[in-house]
Structure 1
Amino acid sequence: MAGLSVREELDSLLLQLLRDFEELEAKRAALNARVEEGWFSLSKARYAMGAKSVGPLQYASHMEPRCCVHTSEAQDGLQRLWMVKTAGRRPEDVGPQEPALRRRKGLSKTPQPEPSAGAQDPLNWFGILVPQSLRQAQTSFQEGLQLSADMASLQIRISWNQRQFQELQEKLKQLEPGPA
């Protein structure tokens, strides 16, 4: 009787693995399409603006990331990854904040200048009026980053399910010894 429930668990786990592999393959195809589209748009932008107008010489000397990867652990022990846009904040500032002491009335706080949104957008490194193809390249690569995080989470889940599957197979072998 116990062998039957282990077999049912194996079957459901195998079906889940197959669904995960199918989803992973779809995400890989989508990622390849996004990256290819991004490179094509980038080459169109280089053609429109000139080869020397879009290149490493236009990069800022100090860059801050516009997105970060966050991880969390679910109740079953699986890790999940996802992308978070930083919106001009440093990566250390993104995420849960610890409670801090507040300053009471009386002492005035000097306002710190906020970085302008234009300075944070890397497209502005290449000029004010950038071609639409450069914007499309940026969007394609951003979508590719999100797909990469999704694929990493999915790969973690697949590895965990494979280990569970192997453990159940060993358990089934112990319950139902076959011909040696």
Structure 2
Amino acid sequence: MTQRKTKTRPACCRSVYGDCTRKNWTMENASKEELCELMDKLLLNSLDLIEQDVRLSQDIARLTTEGQMELAHTRFTKGPNAVSAVQLPTEDYKPFQALATVQVEEAVEDDADPIQHRTLERHPVGDAEDGASRIDPSAWFGILRPPSLNIAKERFARSLDTIVERANVRVRLSSYLNMFELLQKRKTEL
């Protein structure tokens, strides 16, 4: 027995729009007005996401620039040898793991919002599960680190959070635009 697969209301529409609340709503039996209304709302939400994407992009640029300026300040005050490639690990250095990793939460089929969501997972300094250790790179610069180096570290950490947030916005925007395209095709078929 073959099951006929019908397209139900798009997930991004379910999570954003409560207008089409009929239980048996599908793209196949939606009226042209309903499709137009959903398309309008998708575009409005897409514009909001574009605005958010631009703002996050500016935040990332600002945070990384501030971090670079703080590193330059540290190098200026401590001397060129205090913050240089000499402190960085070489090929002989034992392997280590990142202190922050990106986790992708898999979308659940029945979920109202099946868009994959990314989160930044922070790990404590110490031994990781696979034997490699997790180290704090700022420790390469000694115990008495200048405040500007700690500020730079904080700026770059905030930049990582913002990058992950921007990735989530861009995935959601892409999903909305893909759904808009599907609705546009369906509308032309009517």
Q: Same fold (TM over 0.5)?
A: yes
Of 21-30 and 61-70, more deviation after overlay is shown by 61-70
Amino acid at match of 2:138: L
Aligned to 2:163: 148
Aligned to 2:31: 2
Contact 1:81-1:153 within 8 A present in 2 as well? yes
Amino acid at match of 1:52: N
Q: Which runs of 5+ in 1 are unaligned?
A: 94-114, 176-180
- Distance verdict in 2 for CA 1:149–1:162, change over 3 Å: same
By how many angstroms is 1:121 displaced?
A: 2.6
* Alignment partner of 1:128 out of 143, 153, 162: 143
Q: Deviations over 1:123-153 (max 9, x none)?
A: 2211111111101110111111111111111
Aligned to 1:109: none
Aligned to 1:162: 177
Contact 2:126-2:135 within 8 A present in 1 as well? no
Q: Deviations over 1:51-93 (max 9, x none)?
A: 1211222124233311111001333431111111111256667
Match of 2:97, SS state, is coil
Aligned to 1:53: 82
Aligned to 2:105: 72
Match of 1:53, SS state, is coil
By how many angstroms is 1:120 displaced?
A: 3.1
Of 15-24 and 75-84, more deviation after overlay is shown by 75-84
Q: Which consecutive aligned stretches of 4+ in structure 1 deviate over 3 angstroms post-superposition?
A: 89-93
- Aligned equivalents of 1:71, 1:92: Cα separation in 2: 19
Amino acid at match of 2:38: E
Aligned to 1:100: none
> RMSD between aligned alpha carbons?
2.0
Instruction: Report the count of equivalent residues.
Output: 151
Q: Percent identity?
A: 27
Amino acid at match of 1:155: R
Could you tell me the TM-score, scaled by structure 2's length? 0.73
- Aligned equivalents of 2:44, 2:128: Cα separation in 1: 38
- Distance verdict in 2 for CA 1:12–1:90, change over 3 Å: farther
* Alignment partner of 2:67 out of 10, 13, 38: 38
- Distance verdict in 2 for CA 1:172–1:34, change over 3 Å: same
Amino acid at match of 1:86: H
If each structure's helix is expressed as a fraction of its own residues, which one has the higher value? Answer: 1
Q: Return the structure number with greater relative CO, CA threshold 8 A, min gap 6.
A: 1
